[in-house]
Structure 1
Amino acid sequence: MDDSAVSKPLREDRLARSIADLANIVRTLEEKGVSLRATEQPIDTSSAAGRAFLQMLGVFAEFETAIRRERQLEGIAKAKEEGVYKGRPASINPAKVRELAAKGLGGTEIARSLGIGRASVYRLLKESA
């Protein structure tokens, strides 16, 4: 990167959502003849060591996200077992869907009259069949 380039502070862990995303960003920058240089970490994609360090940070960030997701799912499962977490209340009345279907209304008409998606109507009708 030359001295005329404008640099903005960016936290490295906010650069990409996954390793594949990170690789695409770096590749796009390289195609444009630009390198990425971090101010608070030894990252400079113009060198092999800088690229390696950036990739290692990406691996650890993705690992941390996976661990956080696992813990969240474990917490939700435990809360469900204890009866604390019940999910959001149902927004669709299955009996009303069946009632309208029994009157001969089609899925689109039922969805429109109840203000719900057609897929939800068809799923409920399939479940009750």
Structure 2
Amino acid sequence: MARIGYARVSTLDQDLTLQRTALKAAGCDPIRAEKKSGTSTTGRKELAIILDFIGEGDTLVVTRIDRLARSIGDLQDIVRALKEKGARLQATEQPIDTGTAAGKAFLDMLGVFAEFETNLRRERQMEGIAKAKAAGIYKGRTPSIDVTAVRALKAEGIGAAEIARRLGIGRASVYRVLDVKARQIT
């Protein structure tokens, strides 16, 4: 009956030390950690490893459920996967223990709030971008493709694949610049 710790932060410049310390104090061994966004479980290799090897009677321990998932759907999928394997989920900083009815209820409530917080953050970001665009401050990302160079190379008779290779861009980007309707292999 292992206690497996999982620590996660969203960006590379954030630190995992506090989470690792709390998980170690909670008796976790091993502790898996990663620096990935929590808005999706896609690409979170350490979490996938835990879910693959966790077994009957084991407990997945996190400091808070927002370290595990930011959407109620992902959270429920993780809890369901744990339940199917006979494992449970606990949080060190929240009264969550999927081995109890109260813990399950609290987990669902916190999951809803975590998703709500993510959606609010996204809305505020979009409002800020709209405001900056209206004020003429936000122009979007600067173009990374030299349109003139693409057209000049095409004028020399060079094909799209070779233009893409020379300029270090995707072939689809070359086609977009040239507005080629029929995508011929060149």
The answer on 1:86 being equivalent to 2:146 is: no
* Aligned mate of 1:31, from 84, 93, 109: 84
Distance 1:53 1:100 in 2: 61
Distance 1:9 1:94 in 2: 49
Distance 2:81 2:62 in 1: 19
In the TM superposition, residue 86 of structure 1 has moved relative to its aligned partner by: 2.1
Q: Which amino acid aligns with 2:89?
A: L
Distance 2:93 2:140 in 1: 42
| Pair 1:36–1:9, CA change in 2 (3 A) | closer
Please identify, of 55-64 and 33-42, the stretch whose mean Cα deviation from structure 2 is larger: 33-42
In the TM superposition, residue 81 of structure 1 has moved relative to its aligned partner by: 1.6
The answer on 1:122 being equivalent to 2:180 is: no
Q: Is the 8 A contact 2:90 2:98 kept in 1?
A: yes
Higher helix share: 1
| Counterpart residue number, 1:72 | 125
The answer on 1:60 being equivalent to 2:113 is: yes
Greater C-alpha radius of gyration: 1
Distance 2:110 2:130 in 1: 30
Indicate the SS of the match to 2:113: helix
Distance 1:9 1:57 in 2: 14
| Counterpart residue number, 1:41 | 94
Q: Percent of pairs identical after alignment? A: 66
Cα deviation 1:37-60 (Å, max 9, x = unaligned): 223322110122211210111111
Cα deviation 1:73-110 (Å, max 9, x = unaligned): 11011112212222232221212212211222111011
In the TM superposition, residue 9 of structure 1 has moved relative to its aligned partner by: 5.1
| Counterpart residue number, 2:22 | none
Distance 1:123 1:101 in 2: 13
The answer on 1:97 being equivalent to 2:150 is: yes
Q: Identify unmatched segments of 5+ residues in structure 1.
A: none
Distance 2:84 2:152 in 1: 60
Aligned-residue Cα RMSD (Å) equals 2.1
Runs of 4+ in 1 over 4 A off after TM superposition: none
TM-score by length of 1: 0.84
Distance 1:91 1:39 in 2: 45
